[in-house]
Amino acid sequence: MRVGLVCPYTWDVPGGVQQHIGDLAEALIALGHEVSVLAPCEDAAAAPPYLVSAGRALPVPYNGSVARLTFGFRAAARVRAWIRDGRFDLLHVHEPAAPSLSLLACWVAEGPIVATFHTANPRSRAMAVSAAALRTALEKIIARIAVSEAARTTLVEHLGGDAVLIPNGVAVHRYAEAEPLPGWPGDGGAIGFLGRLDEPRKGLPVLLDAFARLAPERPGLRLLVAGPGDADEARGRVPADLRDRVVALGRVDEADKVRAYHSVDVFCAPNTGGESFGIVLTEAMSAGAAILASDIPAFRRVLADGAAGELFAVGDPGDLARAAARLLDDPARRADLSAAARAAVRAYDWRTVATEVVRVYETVLPAGAATGPVTAGRREGV
């Protein structure tokens, strides 16, 4: 079938929704479907061949953060042209509540529409305020998907209706094998972290506090940190004599991210909340990392209630330090967790997840036949 995927956020800035859509597109193509992705994008030359640029995105305060979105008459015209030229059997829009391309596509398109909801925010002011205005667009959606129970709950509480639960996927093969970074993990042990250094809910301060408790008695222990943010500010959270043992890679490309997962003895996800799924965990699981994660609901589900990774009390550096010490001292336990993680993550492989998504597509199309191409109707004011 011919599938049009709509991404609301700019393709130029990496993010979980963009990665989800790109991986889904590639998985659908591998299954034999024709796929086009519409997204805000300035650097079209660096974009994958299936992506169509809808132009520049602008920073907009949205849902307690700043998202780069595209809206307005010009964007609506580009949506119409893409739908007209694509002759899609169906549209699959992501985050249709965001004031961007997905919402425009719902307003403009006539035909089968599937939507995926990613946001997990029980106090989403943006969704609550805009619910009435969104209703005319969301009524055109035939099937809804939520990537987690938290995202499903957010949808139900703010917009009503329900959704089928299909988790985020991960390209397991992409992370399975890689050479460690030079000199890692080292004889004294290494703990890893991946995420924004300056975003409190990612929990790096909790990990740094735990590292400051562990490191004095473990002279060779190092902490490998990857992600955007002020590395000097992060190092400043540990005593001066330990700062050279906190190694910050900054923002890493996909290849070095995979190598980082293979460069540590223990991968730590100390997030304090606000996670609807935990894609960082499934990536680390695909790499066979021994995982230590905070006991938030999303992480507990992905780690099979602790069978595929150790859990520690949320926001408790002492509990994190004790759990990390046990794992660092027990290679056999780390090996068991690695094997369990590799087995558990198969359920999230994109080959499995994409097949479930296709089943949803089939429910919105008449049995044995396509409905004819999705068309771009005219809506006053759009």
pLDDT of 189 strictly over 90: yes
pLDDT of 126 strictly over 60: no
Which tens digit of pLDDT belongs to each residue from 139-149? 899 999 999 88
Specify the CATH number for 2-169+349-376; select among 3.40.50.150, 3.40.50.720, 3.40.50.300, 3.40.50.2000: 3.40.50.2000
pLDDT of 131 strictly over 70: no
Which tens digit of pLDDT belongs to each residue from 53-79? 998 887 766 555 556 777 788 899 999
Structure confidence at residue 63 (pLDDT): 55
Stretch 123-143: mean pLDDT: 69
Structure confidence at residue 73 (pLDDT): 84
Which residues pair with residue 182 across a beta bridge?
none
Structure confidence at residue 8 (pLDDT): 94
Return the CATH class of domain 173-347: alpha beta
Stretch 94-107: mean pLDDT: 91
Q: In terms of Cα–Cα distance, which of 27, 94, 101, 87 is closest to 58?
A: 101
Which residues pair with residue 68 across a beta bridge?
59
Structure confidence at residue 380 (pLDDT): 45
Residues of the chain with CATH 3.40.50.2000: 2-169+349-376, 173-347
Residue 217 banded pLDDT, cuts 50, 70, 90: very high
Backbone angles phi, psi at 332, to 5 degrees: -65, -40
